[in-house]
Amino acid sequence: MGEKIRVLVGGVFDILHVGHVHFLTQARSLGDELVVIVAHDETVRRRKGREPVNSAEDRAELLRALKVVDEVYIGSPGGIDYELVKRIDPDVVAVGPDQEFNCERLKKELREHGVEAEVIRVPYLYKKDRAKTSKIIKRIVEAFCD
């Protein structure tokens, strides 16, 4: 039997929702193993401009509980941890439909750090206005806060 194809995804995964499940399932279908790098709390603060609702440790634990996920790591506070990506050694890096990455640029940056993975954008399979953490937070606030 040949080597397993390892797929890597990264993200915040703050309030786990159906959009995350669809993304992770689609990413997993691109290979045999799915590895997730969860954004560090500092990264969430910097990129989202807010505190994460759940800590990186809690988000990682939730992801580990999903049968579609094989391994979970917490990223470093400084953005993409290319050393960690190199250690994971993915065959494919799957990018979410709403993640602000230019796939060609990301592929070039990975190559510059010795990572030869393909970069594939996963399409939307769900209504993005419903399955988006910021929209879910907004609906909760509207429903429970006066």
Q: What is the mean pLDDT of the chain?
A: 89
Q: How far is CA 116 from the centre of its chain?
A: 19
pTM: 0.87
pLDDT at 1 over 70: no
pLDDT at 130 over 60: no
Say what percent of the chain tops pLDDT 70: 87
Domains of the chain: 6-144 (3.40.50.620)
Around Cβ 20, how many Cβ atoms within 10 Å? 23
φ/ψ of residue 11, rounded to 5 = 175, 180
- pLDDT tens digits, one per residue of 34-82: 999 999 999 999 988 889 999 999 999 999 999 999 999 999 998 889 9
DSSP structure class, residue 124? P
